[in-house]
Amino acid sequence: MFDAIRAGQSSNARHALTPVAVAMLVLCAATAHAQTPSPAASSSGGGAASAALPAANVTAQRDAQTEGSTSYGTQTTTIGKTPQALKDIPNSVSVVTRARMDDQAMTSVADALQFTTGITAINYGDGTYYFNSRGYNVGVEFDGVSILSGIQYQPQFDLSMYDRVEVFRGPAGLLDGTGEPGGTVNLVRKRPGDTFAVRSETTIGSWANYRQMIDVTGPLNQSGTIRGRAVLTGDTGNKSITRTSESNFLAYGALEFDLTPRTLLSLSGSYQVNPLHGFDYGQSLLTNRSFLDAPNNSNFSPDWNYSWASMQEVNGKLEHRFDNDIVSTTTVNYRHVLSNSKYAYLGPGINPTTLTARYFGQSQRGENNLLGIDSHLSGPVQAFGRKHEWLVGMNYQMTQQRSLSGGQNLGTFSIFSPPSNEPTIPFTSGNNLQAQQFGVYGQARVRVLDPLTVVLGGREAWFQQQSQSLLPTEGPWNTTARANHKFIPYGGVVLALTPQINAYFNYSKIFAPQTATTFDGQGLPPREGQQYEVGVKGSFLDGRLSATVAAFRMTDTNRAVADPFHAIGSVAAGSAQSQGWEAEVTGQVTRNWNVYAGYTLLNTRYNSDPSQIGQALDGEEPQHLFKLYTTYRFSDGPFGGVLDGLRIGGGVRIQSSTYRTVGAAQGGYAVWDAMLAYRVNRHLEAQLNVNNVFNRDYYARVPSTFYGIYGERRNVMLTLRADY
């Protein structure tokens, strides 16, 4: 199948965009099949005293929208392709709502995931992050469309264009296909509202940081059948370490068309550019494997270090609701990323006596095309006197990467006086990489008894990865990983203990192709394994407050390890396991009191590995991880109107020790944040955020042979919001 697709493509991955045309044809075909029955009922968006932009409601997908609510909790999520109540999903799922993003002054995807239960967000140093959960990387969806290699070490759009961040922990192979079993992050965009609204946010912060966001939404015709939204965001300023500055500009636009009362076409486009100057990949360990004792704002890189990234994204979605409540959804998402960088970094090892180290210069250029297509049908069915639900669909994902790089040994320098002369570093190596994945999937939610629901599903998956050398010489395309007709099963059970509390169990299969080869060049079989998870979920206080406790265990086999009988090559003989438990409480204790709290206990280990047996699978994920954020809004209380309009809040991240090199661990630490806000009137609110209140020293990325990043020092942000 993939050979046929490749036949129409250029050998240069930069031009191989044939699947984009296929995607457009899929969307057009879905449009042609949309029918025109009688109008469906709709409900208006519920606002709150916060005077936030109102949430508009046109289709069932809007039931999960968090904008317009002041709550940290939501009862519904769309990460499983269709709207589902959180307590009815037999998996661990968390949602970062728009209200919590605003209260914590979150501006990036990393900000949101850093305060999500069970997720470890690690700063790579060049403006990108990588994200782990349960000992593994996580994947990504953009509005429910899975994208290969779309989140790890990749730039992301500013958080101002998103309504919420949904996080599914554990293997998600049923709907997403191959990949690491840590989980999936679903980034859900803001959608046009059905009433006119404008929001402006102006922020001034530490280190000369300035940020301005304008968000406009509303109907574009008299009948309201065409709606639009535009978000413009710009910020500029310095970073926590000296001599580093960053700018960001985002433009996001979205349109929605009611083609018929039951057919909705959504189109959106985004553009963002991020220049970063004087950035620092940080420090390495000393040669005696101890940490450097230096001020936590030290920059060990030259002034001429820079990185520049631009992103363009387009998205199209067609939804149609039939008479019998069957819903058809087809979505196409395409993202283009272009990046350039030139920098020097130190390592491996700093001389503890002279505080000198070798510096290496690097120049890089990368181009990444990310395409995802998903089309599915879902609906209810009556059988044996009960209502059941079903879902069938197919999706296609493609990633094309073109990378050029060059490097030089710049010599040995004092780490406090890095090389000042900017070298010329030509590109000396380069390659094309293309990965494609196709799958068909199905899932049924069968209500066996009134309190018992069985969830069964499966996916038939195809995967292929190819690479081509570009420099120093151009070579042929080679297949580095392939899997055909791989079946990935899923099973779950949900038992209603009371109207408010459900118990659940799930079984998930792990399937991850790998590129390592045997000593004679043969490909290794995919990694395989399974997860078992059991938990209890509750929805309390009329649905305002949600709570979850879950325990899980994963096994991972066929891992590539060094061949014990040959000097080169690997064998599929490694195994690992991950187990632990999680607890989360989120939502409103009272109408004025919001709370989010999440705790994770994680134990991972290599069970079979010649060099790492018994060690933790991922030393950068702490064994204990606790996150808390809460706010309280005063109104009509014992103080009368004196404190009316005032909100106070704060939170903490507490974690145990972590490491990247065995024997060089960072001890546990806690970082506290605080917030104070005052609503002047129904249109205007001022908010003050203080992050790292006690100025705790810590590493956001623990030093190893290379790249150790300081955590942000204490900083202050003052935001003025205006809503009309």
Split the chain (724 residues) into runs of 10 and give each run's mean pLDDT. 42 38 40 38 37 42 78 93 93 97 97 97 94 95 93 96 97 82 95 96 97 98 97 97 96 98 97 97 95 96 96 98 95 98 95 97 97 97 94 96 97 96 96 96 96 96 95 94 91 96 96 87 88 97 96 94 90 94 97 97 93 91 98 75 89 97 96 97 96 97 94 97 96
Place of tokens 């059970």: 493
Q: How high is the pLDDT of residue 267? A: 98
Q: How high is the pLDDT of residue 178? A: 77
Place of tokens 């101002």: 160
Token couple for 350: 């700093």
Strand-pair category, 139-142 with 183-189: parallel
Residue 243 φ then ψ, to 5°? 65, 20
* Single-letter residue type at 201: E
Nearest to 395 by CA among 141, 580, 628: 141
CATH number for 448: 2.40.170.20
- Within-domain flag for 470: no
- Within-domain flag for 318: yes
Task: Answer for the pair 633, 653: CB distance below 8 angstroms, yes or no.
Answer: no
User: Could you check whether the bond before residue 472 is cis, i.e. omega within 30 degrees of 0?
Assistant: yes
Token couple for 478: 């080679």
Measured between alpha carbons, how far is residue 683 from residues 56, 334, 456, 679, 680 in Å?
A: 19, 37, 49, 8, 8
- Within-domain flag for 504: yes
Residue 411 φ/ψ region, left for φ over 0, alpha for ψ in the -120 to 50 degree band, beta for the rest: left
Instruction: State the residue range of the domain holding 349.
Output: 2-465+479-723
Cα separation, 250 vs 267, whole angstroms: 17
Q: How high is the pLDDT of residue 638? A: 59
SS3 assignment, position 110: helix
Longest dimension (CA), the chain: 80
- Within-domain flag for 552: yes
Residues 347, 348, 351, CA angle at the centre, nearest 5°? 85
- Cβ atoms < 10 Å from Cβ of 45: 18
Give alpha helix (H) positions in 318-454: none
- Within-domain flag for 623: yes
- Within-domain flag for 471: no
Nearest to 300 by CA among 317, 279, 315, 316: 279
- Within-domain flag for 473: no
**Structural domains counted in the chain:** 1
| Helix, strand and coil in the chain, % to nearest 5 | 5, 55, 35
Nearest to 492 by CA among 468, 473, 509, 478: 509
Burial, 252: exposed, middle or buried (Cβ in 10 Å; 0-12, 13-18, 19+)? buried
- Within-domain flag for 472: no
pTM for this predicted structure: 0.90
Q: How high is the pLDDT of residue 512? A: 86
Q: How high is the pLDDT of residue 28? A: 41
Nearest to 92 by CA among 511, 600, 694: 600
Q: Bridge partners of 669?
A: 655
